[in-house]
């Protein structure tokens, strides 16, 4: 493979991405992962490379470092508005800038703006993650690609420039090395996704790809088998004048399973994206589930795609007759139901009537490839159903499915095409049947001298299941004894979720020793701070994120490299880094594995004879263009204070959507036009509100230049029109016009204050 891979965007331009290099260190349940992306601009113009990429749900970004032509710069986390403003100012000033943002949980975007012709840049970022034992296995997971998702991403918090592009082949390659330290260095391991090699280096075990590099067409998984006598682990470190502790308990107890009846509603994804390996796995899972149902259990099966269909009109008893009906219906399970309307299918499951005294559980089998996850999770939390999720495929939407399970009191399992589906289903049934745990508590030190705990937070987990890790962070005044104890109670006899109170209660305790953990990035304290953020008010959470330099929804990481003598550089051409279609997606081949040797066997794509409205095929495979909004609806702000201004002015601001509509339509990245020097009459012709026109006219009468006043107003436009802003491109053109006209900050502030005074009068 060539050192430099020339990529083509959807519109045919070159983007050079040399490679993605990943080096990770795993020590017990804590890993630190370094990702290095190398870009080369082989074009004769400056470019802006945009890469939207996935990370594990509980990954916490710790550092951003960029090397550009031998110069190394380190990013700084700042409030979202300030970071966006500094990035946009750097772009219009001709400087090179990098902006790393969190779009939503598990999804991030890096913008490399003004990479000059002939220049190279290496973007390095590091994240840490706490892993979890499930049963006797721990899963190291590295997402490498995004599968096409159902729905319109513009409707779900993505800006147009952040929407991922896809290609059948994206030939940049992955280089991977994992160093395993501590107890896990002697544990049995395997990769169900990639061919790997293993060798010892002193007391560490190093794992790398068998062929040095691999296509980024599937998630990379390394699974560890639990060492003998493993009981959990704990770490502690200093955090200013306090102490933070990570406790990772592994409750080794044979909890009694309830004999009471349960209602299990199976919801199965039969959309087009499940075609091939994924639907085969779903079929295996359903057969296993039917075998595990007891006579007194109740069940229903809902298959979904663009529409859903229920096997029974309501939940039914798991007697032989109903099980035979289900087995016959599922004998020819196909991924032929089109799109992925998951929410309507789950609503049908929630409404599937069952005896009121039974606890209801959802068992969802899907690849999770949809936009709009937040709305679905909110509905699920209101449903009073625990969700037990099985994610299938080679590039599952792990962040979404794990959140769905955790926030409803369930659990999630993920199965690649080469793993044993039956064992995962059995584990879920054990969790569903497990007696409810109560009075759970984690204490530090001796019982007679319990160290004062200032705060405590379970890491992404709301329910304790026997055989699954219980991860928790705590902040303490001091740690006098390096010991932590988990305790909880459970009922020895059967019970239901609603709880019968006449059972005999039994307590369980487990203690672990805490080891000191130190590193240059203060990792443990920052992970603990990140775990505390959801419990804090918004402003306090932002302050905490800034103190610990954490990237969140409200904080971005920014760095700027000054380019000298680049006054006439012009705006950069945007280049989106495409993702490769996952192996086995929609039946395009099958992921086959023999031991650690994995490859994708090419197979012809099956012909799908059904209505086009139901096709769940990404736009790049269709004749039609993508049905996404092409307007660039960025609402970048110019200072941190404008966040509160926008909120207070949303209702008081006169409607002036005509200006944005006309400018966004006329000035697009593809036509390479600069913004004109408009006067007040031009604004009136475009439909600007009379109040704004009056303000600008009054300022002109005071002696201010009319052209400069209009340019200043356009640079402020998005502050006062957050619901209908100028596009990202037009906003940049307005900044460029301000720069060309040499408009002073004092004039811009004068216009801002005049508009504010008018609106608040």
pLDDT in tens, 589-614: 566 553 454 444 434 333 333 333 33
Looking at 504, 534, 564, the residue that finishes a domain is 534
The answer to whether the beta carbons of residues 571 and 94 sit under 8 Å apart is: no
The whole-chain average pLDDT of the chain stands at: 83
The reply to whether 179 falls in a domain is yes
Q: Is the pLDDT of residue 741 over 60?
A: yes
Backbone angles phi, psi at 736, to 5 degrees: -65, -40
- pLDDT for 135 equals 83
Alpha-carbon torsion 266, 418, 216, 76, what sign? positive
Residue 731: name the closest of 102, 89, 103, 95 by CA.
Answer: 89
> Given pLDDT bands bounded at 50, 70 and 90, which one contains residue 658?
confident
- pLDDT for 553 equals 95
Looking at 502, 534, 566, the residue that finishes a domain is 534
Pair of tokens at residue 82 = 């300030």
143 and 200 both lie in a single domain: yes
The reply to whether 643 falls in a domain is no
- pLDDT for 722 equals 86
- pLDDT for 601 equals 43
Only one residue has tokens 């147009």, namely 160
- Kindly report, residue by residue over 683-695, the tens digit of the pLDDT: 999 999 999 999 9
Q: How far is CA 414 from CA 145, 187, 390, 395, in A?
A: 16, 21, 6, 10
> Given pLDDT bands bounded at 50, 70 and 90, which one contains residue 13?
low
Q: Is the pLDDT of residue 530 over 90?
A: yes
Q: Is the pLDDT of residue 317 over 90?
A: yes
The shares of helix, strand and coil residues in the chain, as percent rounded to the nearest 5, are 30, 35, 40
Q: How far is CA 657 from CA 485, 517, 647, 754, in A?
A: 60, 55, 18, 20
Residue 145: name the closest of 175, 122, 166, 124 by CA.
Answer: 166
77 and 33 both lie in a single domain: yes
Residue 135: name the closest of 220, 226, 221 by CA.
Answer: 226
CATH number, residue 331 = 3.40.50.410
Q: How many CB atoms lie within 10 A of CB 291?
A: 13
The reply to whether 612 falls in a domain is no
Pair of tokens at residue 245 = 């502790």
Backbone angles phi, psi at 520, to 5 degrees: -70, -20
47 and 134 both lie in a single domain: yes
- pTM for the full model? 0.84
The answer to whether the beta carbons of residues 199 and 206 sit under 8 Å apart is: yes
Q: Is the pLDDT of residue 5 over 50?
A: no
Burial of 566: CB neighbours in 10 Å, binned 0-12, 13-18, 19+: middle
**Position with higher pLDDT, 67 vs 250:** 67
- pLDDT for 258 equals 57
**Position with higher pLDDT, 503 vs 119:** 119
- Kindly report, residue by residue over 431-473, the tens digit of the pLDDT: 888 876 766 788 887 644 455 666 666 554 457 787 788 889 9
The reply to whether 134 falls in a domain is yes
82 and 186 both lie in a single domain: yes
For residue 107, is it left (φ>0), alpha (ψ between -120 and 50) or beta? beta
The reply to whether 210 falls in a domain is yes
In this structure, the strands spanning 386-392 and 411-415 are parallel
H/E element holding 720?
A: helix 706-720
Coil, helix or strand at residue 32: strand
The reply to whether 521 falls in a domain is yes
347 and 213 both lie in a single domain: no
Q: Is the pLDDT of residue 494 over 70?
A: no
Q: Is the pLDDT of residue 649 over 80?
A: no
> Given pLDDT bands bounded at 50, 70 and 90, which one contains residue 569?
confident
Q: How far is CA 456 from CA 152, 473, 477, 547, in A?
A: 38, 6, 12, 19
Average confidence (pLDDT) over 525-530:
95
Q: Is the pLDDT of residue 427 over 50?
A: yes
402 and 483 both lie in a single domain: no
Q: Is the pLDDT of residue 273 over 90?
A: no
Q: Is the pLDDT of residue 351 over 90?
A: yes
Q: How many CB atoms lie within 10 A of CB 354?
A: 20
- Number of H helices and E strands in the chain, helices first, is 16, 37
- pLDDT for 102 equals 96
Q: How far apart are CA 141 and CA 226, in angstroms?
A: 16
The reply to whether 604 falls in a domain is no
The answer to whether the beta carbons of residues 408 and 380 sit under 8 Å apart is: yes
The reply to whether 571 falls in a domain is yes
DSSP per-residue letters across 183-213: GGGGS-EE-SSS-EEEEEETTEEEEEEEEEE
Query: What is the Cα 523 distance to its own chain's centre?
Result: 21
249 and 148 both lie in a single domain: no
- pLDDT for 588 equals 64
Average confidence (pLDDT) over 543-556:
97
Looking at 409, 433, 457, the residue that finishes a domain is 433
- pLDDT for 628 equals 36
Q: How far is CA 633 from CA 148, 372, 718, in A?
A: 22, 18, 10
The answer to whether the beta carbons of residues 390 and 171 sit under 8 Å apart is: no
> Given pLDDT bands bounded at 50, 70 and 90, which one contains residue 9?
low
36 and 151 both lie in a single domain: yes
| DSSP structural state of residue 662 | H
What residue numbers bound the domain in which 498 lies?
232-254+438-534
422 and 461 both lie in a single domain: no
Average confidence (pLDDT) over 228-232:
82
- pLDDT for 168 equals 81
DSSP per-residue letters across 515-551: EE---TT-HHHHHHHHHHGGGS-HHHHHHHHHHHT--
% of the chain beyond a pLDDT of 70: 82
Q: How far apart are CA 262 and CA 297, in angstroms?
A: 5
295 and 408 both lie in a single domain: yes
Q: How far is CA 110 from CA 5, 425, 453, 526, in A?
A: 19, 37, 38, 21
Looking at the DSSP bridge assignments, the partners of residue 14 are 8
Q: Name which of 153-162, 375-384, 554-563 the model is least confident about.
A: 153-162
99 and 174 both lie in a single domain: yes
Q: How many CB atoms lie within 10 A of CB 754?
A: 19
Q: How far apart are CA 453 and CA 84, in angstroms?
A: 38
Q: Name which of 281-290, 444-453, 669-678 the model is least confident about.
A: 444-453
H/E element holding 72?
A: strand 71-74
Counting the structural domains of the chain, the total is: 4
> Given pLDDT bands bounded at 50, 70 and 90, which one contains residue 625?
very low
Return the C-alpha torsion angle 730, 734, 737, 743, nearest 10: 180
349 and 313 both lie in a single domain: yes
Residue 39: name the closest of 126, 147, 124 by CA.
Answer: 124
The answer to whether the beta carbons of residues 720 and 658 sit under 8 Å apart is: no
Q: Is the pLDDT of residue 731 over 80?
A: yes
- pLDDT for 26 equals 96
Residue 457: name the closest of 405, 545, 528 by CA.
Answer: 528
The CA radius of gyration of the chain, in Å to the nearest whole number, is: 28
- pLDDT for 350 equals 96
- pLDDT for 707 equals 93
**Position with higher pLDDT, 733 vs 465:** 733
Q: Name which of 10-24, 33-47, 592-606 the model is least confident about.
A: 592-606
Pair of tokens at residue 500 = 């019968």
Average confidence (pLDDT) over 75-89:
96
Q: How far apart are CA 428 and CA 411, in angstroms?
A: 8
- pLDDT for 614 equals 34
> Given pLDDT bands bounded at 50, 70 and 90, which one contains residue 276?
confident
The answer to whether the beta carbons of residues 74 and 51 sit under 8 Å apart is: no
Burial of 343: CB neighbours in 10 Å, binned 0-12, 13-18, 19+: middle
Residue 573: name the closest of 669, 507, 673 by CA.
Answer: 669
- pLDDT for 30 equals 95
| b/e burial code for range 667-684 (CB count within 10 A of at least 16 → b) | bebeeeeebeebebeebe
């Amino acid at each position: 493979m060539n050192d430099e891979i020339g990529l083509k965007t959807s519109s045919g331009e070159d983007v050079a991405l040399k490679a993605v290099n990943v080096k990770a260190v795993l020590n017990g349940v804590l890993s630190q992962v370094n990702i290095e992306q190398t870009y080369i601009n082989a074009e004769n113009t400056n470019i802006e490379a945009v890469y939207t990429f996935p990370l594990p749900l509980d990954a916490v970004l710790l550092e951003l470092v960029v090397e550009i032509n031998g110069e190394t710069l380190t990013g700084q986390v700042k409030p979202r508005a300030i970071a966006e403003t500094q990035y946009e100012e750097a772009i219009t000033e001709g400087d090179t800038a990098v902006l790393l943002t969190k779009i939503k949980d598990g999804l991030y975007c890096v913008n490399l703006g003004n990479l000059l012709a002939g220049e190279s840049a290496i973007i390095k970022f590091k994240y840490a993650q706490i892993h979890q034992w499930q049963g006797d296995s721990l899963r190291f997971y590295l997402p490498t690609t995004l599968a096409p998702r159902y729905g319109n991403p513009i409707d779900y918090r993505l800006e147009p420039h952040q929407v991922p592009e896809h290609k059948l082949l994206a030939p940049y390659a992955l280089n991977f090395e994992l160093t395993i330290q501590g107890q896990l260095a002697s544990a049995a391991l395997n990769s169900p996704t990639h061919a790997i090699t293993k060798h010892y280096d002193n007391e560490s075990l190093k794992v790398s790809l068998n062929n040095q590099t691999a296509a980024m067409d599937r998630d990379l998984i390394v699974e560890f088998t639990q060492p003998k006598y493993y009981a959990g682990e704990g770490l502690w470190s200093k955090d200013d004048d306090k102490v933070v502790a990570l406790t990772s308990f592994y409750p080794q107890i044979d909890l009694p399973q309830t004999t009471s009846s349960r209602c299990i509603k199976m919801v199965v994804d039969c959309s087009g994206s499940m075609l091939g390996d994924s639907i085969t796995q779903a079929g295996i899972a359903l057969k296993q589930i039917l075998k595990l149902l007891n006579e007194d259990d109740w069940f229903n099966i809902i298959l979904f795609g663009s529409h859903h269909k229920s096997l029974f009109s309501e939940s039914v008893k798991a007697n032989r007759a109903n099980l035979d009906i289900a087995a016959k219906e599922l004998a020819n399970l196909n991924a032929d139901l089109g799109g992925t309307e998951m929410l309507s299918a789950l609503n049908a499951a929630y409404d599937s009537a069952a005896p009121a005294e039974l606890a209801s559980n959802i068992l969802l089998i899907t690849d999770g490839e949809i936009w709009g996850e937040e709305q679905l999770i909110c509905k699920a939390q209101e449903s009073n159903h625990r969700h037990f999720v099985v994610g299938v495929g080679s590039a599952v939407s792990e962040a979404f499915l794990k959140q769905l399970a955790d926030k409803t009191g369930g659990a999630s399992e993920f199965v690649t095409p080469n793993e044993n589906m039956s064992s995962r289903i059995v584990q879920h049934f054990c969790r569903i049947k497990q007696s409810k745990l109560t009075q759970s508590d984690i204490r530090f030190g001796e019982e007679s001298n319990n160290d004062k705990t200032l705060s405590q937070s379970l890491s992404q987990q709301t329910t304790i299941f026997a055989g699954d890790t219980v991860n928790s962070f705590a902040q303490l005044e001091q740690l006098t004894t390096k010991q932590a104890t988990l305790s909880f109670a459970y009922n020895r006899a059967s019970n239901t979720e609603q709880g019968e109170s006449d059972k005999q209660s039994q307590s369980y305790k487990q203690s672990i020793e805490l080891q000191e953990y130190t590193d240059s990035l203060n990792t443990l304290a920052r992970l603990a701070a990140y775990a505390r953020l959801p419990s804090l008010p918004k402003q306090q959470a932002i302050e905490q994120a800034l103190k610990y330099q954490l990237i969140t929804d409200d904080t971005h990481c920014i760095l700027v490299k000054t380019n000298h003598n680049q006054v006439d550089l012009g705006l950069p051409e945007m280049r989106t880094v495409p993702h490769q279609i996952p192996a086995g997606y929609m039946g395009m081949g099958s992921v086959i594995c023999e031991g650690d040797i994995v490859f994708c066997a090419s197979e012809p794509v099956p012909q799908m004879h059904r209505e086009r409205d139901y096709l769940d095929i990404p736009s790049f495979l269709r004749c039609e263009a993508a049905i996404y909004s092409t307007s660039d609806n960025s609402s970048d702000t110019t200072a941190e204070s404008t966040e509160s201004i926008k909120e207070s002015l949303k209702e008081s601001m006169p409607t002036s959507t005509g200006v944005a509509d006309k400018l966004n339509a006329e000035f697009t990245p593809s036509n390479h036009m600069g913004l004109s020097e408009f006067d007040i009459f031009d604004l009136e012709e475009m439909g600007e509100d009379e109040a704004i026109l009056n303000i600008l006219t009054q300022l002109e009468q005071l002696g201010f230049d009319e052209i400069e006043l209009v340019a200043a107003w356009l640079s402020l436009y998005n502050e006062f029109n957050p619901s209908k802003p100028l596009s990202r491109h037009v906003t940049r053109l307005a900044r460029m016009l301000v720069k060309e006209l040499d408009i002073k900050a004092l004039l811009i502030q004068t216009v801002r204050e005049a508009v504010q005074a008018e609106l608040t009068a």
